[in-house]
Structure 1
Amino acid sequence: MAGSSLDEVIACPECDALYHARMPEEGARLVCKRCHHVLIAPQKDAYLHVVSLALTTLFLMGGAIYFPFLGISAAGFENKTSVLKTVMAFLDEGFTVALSIFVAAFIIMIPAIRSILVIYVILPLMMGRKPAPYARTAFRVSEDLRPWSMAEIFIIGCAVALVKIVAYGKVEIGPAFWLFIVLVIVTVLQDISMDRWSIWKALERRS
């Protein structure tokens, strides 16, 4: 580390260990020696993979909020609802407006905004062009929003609730439930495929 400038230093996001940043060969990885977290992992067509997964996230999110999520029938009554209908139903009750806003933000809006920002930042890089205006700010915002994207927490909560609901009636899992599960998997793959250090360097180099 001695004699290295700040531009040549990379910090492990897991344990804060500092390393001299260097671009490994394609297919190779720079891994933290302390916690084994992957720091830099350049891959062939990485930009294309990330953009494709971000677009997939947007399409899945559209279907996940529109199609029926769950249905329940008990004592001769049957009801099916989607995530969008649930959020709108909360808005009809004054004391649950804040809850509806949080639900919409954490499981719908934030994942969608993150995907849009990722596409905005990476698409010009993929095409070999100069970064879009305010690309670095957009990418920083997308990274800041990452801990607040809680679609996977929503699915886990629904799975726990289903265990209790089945005791009161027949539960039908709608297509939106499975779309959310696929959405979570795609989001994880997108985060794994994204080499953030390489993106930052590309934004600095092409600006």
Structure 2
Amino acid sequence: MSDPAPSSPAPLQQLPLDQLVVCHECDLLMYRPDLQLEQKACCPRCGYELYAHRAWVERRSLALVLTALVLFLPANFLPIMQLNLLGQTTQDTVWSGVVALYRSGMEVVALVVFLCSMVVPLLKLLCQLLVLLCIRWRVARTWGRRVYRSYHHLREWGMLEVYLIGILVSIVKLIDMADLNLGVGLFCFIGLLLAQVWLEVTMSPHQIWDALEEDAHASH
């Protein structure tokens, strides 16, 4: 169900900030909508989705983040593909790609790939897990807000989808040149990417912030 966020000619500037919301796309100032479960509010001017109030956010997000963490190691260290060329067989993983770049003299590229495809995605998942545990156990609320703020800064640096596109391009180019077999690591990598995307959709930011704020108020 989609409901447009209410807009009123009343003097919005006189209201407390917690009763207002600004559209991230067109900067329209509006009353903060009061949503029921499975409702969402969209900007009446540009249609941007402001809020989505989803059911069981905490449980669903925990299940997804734990799934992603389980898939992280096999996605990065199990073979993505096995290449048979002129009697020689090689197995490639995400980690072996980083090592190969480093040994070939492209240290900066290897560092960027390592950070964007392994370190940052792992840090994002750990931040999400810690925030959800803070909400579930109702502990370390201030610290949880800082971690969640750090997570939003890390979002721009995780590039699993770019790495997956690179893998798919390599498969297309090599499939006619050699005997190519897909490995378990590729399917784990795709599962990791899908789990992270689904987690981004499920873990509604305004509900997480509200839960952290409610816990903070309850502690006083």
Query: What TM-score, normalized to structure 1?
Result: 0.90
Q: Is the 8 A contact 2:57 2:203 kept in 1?
A: yes
Name the structure 2 match of 1:101: 111
SS in 1 for 2:146: helix
- The aligned runs of 1:11-22 (5 Å cut-off) are 11-22=22-33
Q: Is the 8 A contact 1:53 1:190 kept in 2?
A: yes
Q: Is the 8 A contact 2:141 2:212 kept in 1?
A: no
The match for 2:143 among 117, 134, 137 is: 134
SS in 1 for 2:39: coil
Shift of 1:64: 0.5
The match for 2:184 among 175, 197, 202 is: 175
Shift of 1:132: 4.2
In structure 1, C-alpha distance between the alignment counterparts of 2:201 and 2:29, rounded to whole Å: 21
Does 2:156 match 1:122?
no
Shift of 1:35: 3.5
Q: Is the 8 A contact 1:120 1:132 kept in 2?
A: no
In structure 2, C-alpha distance between the alignment counterparts of 1:196 and 1:23, rounded to whole Å: 15
SS in 1 for 2:119: helix
Shift of 1:191: 0.7
Shift of 1:39: 1.9
Name the structure 2 match of 1:49: 60
Does 2:211 match 1:199?
no
Q: Which has the larger radius of gyration?
A: 2
The match for 2:88 among 58, 77, 98 is: 77
Query: What TM-score, normalized to structure 2?
Result: 0.85
Q: Is the 8 A contact 1:57 1:112 kept in 2?
A: no
Runs of 4+, deviation exceeding 6 Å? none
Shift of 1:88: 2.5
Does 2:193 match 1:184?
yes
Name the structure 2 match of 1:68: 79
In structure 2, C-alpha distance between the alignment counterparts of 1:159 and 1:84, rounded to whole Å: 17
Shift of 1:16: 3.2
Shift of 1:133: 4.8
SS in 2 for 1:41: strand
Alignment size in residue pairs: 205
The match for 1:166 among 165, 168, 175 is: 175
In structure 2, C-alpha distance between the alignment counterparts of 1:107 and 1:34, rounded to whole Å: 37
Name the structure 2 match of 1:87: 98
